[in-house]
């Protein structure tokens, strides 16, 4: 079961950044010798901190994180989060929110509300499958500073974002269901006509647009925890990239 996030609490944790890193001891030794560690990785959601006296390979961090886990880890949803780069995401979000406000339509207002309810953090573009990281040096970089490592359990849902609604929709995973099945269910909720296009954001943060669904025989399957985003319609030319920018921003959501 996925517990609902306390967004305000999580946002406080994320925006605390380096202060949080400095404030989370892992043992009595940490408190007595605070300066011997050059690298700390705080695990989410447990907030256990792994401390290292020197730079460490990512494979070692993942192995140590797995050893601390009480349950099965969802590898493709795992994310290495750099709090030092959080301003990149904050800036992207601020630009998008400003454009939505400028559009000043009910759909734009709804989309802004949905985005504002999400915890959005900077994920490094890095392989997180332990086996893959171990066997290839190019996927096994040195970790040289403080990070967070998100280790979600395998979700039992996907999320849909539709600007005709003022809230996102959580849908239970359906066996053998593809994008059309989820869009059909969403259409019933929103009383909208059949959707012919959407953005898919997979759990590993891969983003792609699917269009002309009525004419294609391709099946688009979603990973657990994926997002379906139905873009804003009839955008002015000055806002032609807005849907793509929103989709890529959604890829930085934090799944716990």
Domain boundaries, the chain: 83-251
By the 8 A CB rule, do 112 and 101 touch?
yes
Q: Does domain 83-251 have CATH number 3.10.560.10?
A: yes
- pLDDT (tens digit per residue) in 7-24: 555 555 554 543 344 333
Beta strand pairing call for 39-44 and 147-150? parallel
pLDDT at 6: 52
- pLDDT (tens digit per residue) in 188-247: 988 877 788 999 999 999 999 999 988 888 999 999 999 999 999 999 999 999 999 999
Residue 205 exposed, middle or buried by CB count within 10 Å (0-12, 13-18, 19+): middle
- pLDDT (tens digit per residue) in 102-123: 999 999 999 999 999 999 999 9
């Amino acid at each position: 079961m996925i517990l609902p996030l306390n967004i305000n609490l999580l946002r406080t944790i994320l925006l605390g950044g380096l202060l949080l890193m400095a404030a989370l001891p892992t043992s009595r030794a940490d408190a007595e010798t605070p300066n011997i560690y050059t690298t700390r990785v705080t695990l989410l959601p447990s907030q256990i901190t792994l401390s290292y006296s020197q730079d460490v390979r990512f494979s070692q961090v993942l192995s140590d994180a797995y050893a601390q886990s009480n349950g099965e880890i969802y590898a493709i949803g795992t994310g290495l989060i750099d709090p030092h780069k959080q301003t990149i995401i904050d800036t992207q979000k601020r630009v998008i929110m400003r454009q939505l406000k400028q559009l000043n339509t009910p759909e734009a207002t709804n989309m802004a509300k949905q985005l504002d309810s999400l915890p959005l953090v900077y994920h490094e573009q890095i392989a997180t499958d332990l086996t893959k990281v171990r066997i290839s040096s190019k996927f096994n970089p040195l970790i040289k500073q403080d990070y967070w490592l998100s280790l979600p359990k395998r979700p039992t849902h996907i999320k849909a974002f539709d600007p005709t609604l003022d809230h996102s929709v959580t849908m239970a995973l359906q066996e053998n269901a593809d994008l059309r099945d989820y869009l059909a269910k969403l259409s019933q909720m929103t009383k909208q006509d059949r959707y012919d296009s959407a953005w898919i954001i997979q759990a590993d943060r891969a983003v792609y647009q699917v269009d002309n669904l009525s004419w294609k025989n391709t099946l688009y399957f979603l990973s657990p925890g994926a997002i379906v985003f139905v873009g804003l319609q009839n955008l002015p030319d000055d806002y032609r990239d807005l849907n793509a920018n929103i989709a890529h921003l959604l890829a930085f959501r934090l799944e716990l």
